[in-house]
Amino acid sequence: MRTFEYHPTTTLHEALGLLHDHGADAAAMAGGTSLVLMMRQGLMQPEVVVDLNGIAELRGIRLTADGSLELGALETHRAIETSPTVHAFCPALAETFGRIATVRIRNQATLGGNLVHADPSQDPPPMLIALDASAVIATMDGERVVPLAEFFLDYFESAVAEGELLRCVRIPALAPNARAAYTKFLPGTEDDYATVAVAAYLDCSADKHCNEIRIGLGSLGVTPLRARAVEDALRGTVLTRGTIAHAATLADDIIDPFTDARGSAAYKRAMARVWIERTIADLAEIPE
């Protein structure tokens, strides 16, 4: 790695000031699992590294007065996976964080680092999109809030601009009878990236009438995606195997998978329909 200046920080104001002053020459470091690897590979060569780990304002897992869940950007995947607060709020959210890589990585890598890295194959983004989460981004002038469905701009590019930091992720309260699920179709070992990943949030009545549905997709384009056309086709309908299967075909116009070691583009496109259908049918408890 190239020589760089290292600046540990203890306040959000201090870190933002350093990032603002050094501009494109600076990189923020949380867990470092992605940043250090990219620096070793020569893909990133910052002159200044701003260490965020001493900033208490970026930590915390808490419920707010309106029932929303806030996850601090410096919380590790393991902390979120094992949090009783997260599990009580949404068991599928805790399960999603437990599906990331290995426990060694989960103990080091952070929520904020994961999201700002903006890898379209990561596990948390589809679930957070399905849960209608928003990113709270700190700037020198205050804060701005960006829905997670709009947070990912391109391959390895997020809405966090130069001189800004992700402070936390905010997830609104779930409907009383709503459920969520995350399915990850794997090509090999459990710690690999998914060939196709599907997350869904579903609020339906006992007679299978769909009151609300949101679907997040991973590994199916240059960014994580929200399957709005599929949602629109199912919202307000009675869920059956037939209606779900038809709606799943509408994902074809949303996704843009690319061929890699985990499958061809055509294979991923076919598997997207299969796993969207399975995830929603299982959530709605519709028998075979």
- Rounded Cα–Cα distance for residues 47 and 33 (Å): 18
Q: Which of helix, strand or coil describes residue 239?
A: coil
- Interacting residues of 181 by C-beta distance below 8 A, sequence separation 6+: 92, 199, 200, 279, 282, 283
Question: Tell me, what's the pLDDT at 95?
Answer: 97
Q: Which of helix, strand or coil describes residue 225?
A: strand
Question: 263's torsion region: left (phi>0), alpha (psi -120 to 50) or beta?
Answer: left
H/E stretch holding 166: strand 165-171
CA distances from 189 to 3, 33, 52, 251 (A): 36, 20, 32, 26
Count CB neighbours of 95 within 10 A: 17
- Do the Cβ atoms of 230 and 250 come closer than 8 Å? yes
What DSSP line would sit under 170-211, residue for residue? EEPPPPTT-EEEEEEE-SS-TTSPPSEEEEEEEEE-TT-BEE
* Residues of the chain by 3-state class (helix, strand, coil), percent to 5: 35, 25, 40
Q: pLDDT 10s digit of each residue in the chain, 288 long? A: 789 999 999 999 999 999 999 999 999 999 999 999 999 999 999 999 999 999 999 999 999 999 999 999 999 999 999 999 999 999 999 999 999 999 999 999 999 999 999 999 999 999 999 999 999 999 999 999 999 999 999 999 999 999 999 999 999 999 999 999 999 998 777 778 899 999 999 999 999 999 999 999 999 999 999 999 999 999 999 999 999 999 999 999 999 999 998 999 999 999 999 999 999 999 999 988
Question: Tell me, what's the pLDDT at 172?
Answer: 98
- Do the Cβ atoms of 169 and 93 come closer than 8 Å? no
Q: Which of helix, strand or coil describes residue 29?
A: strand
Question: Tell me, what's the pLDDT at 192?
Answer: 86
Question: Tell me, what's the pLDDT at 115?
Answer: 98
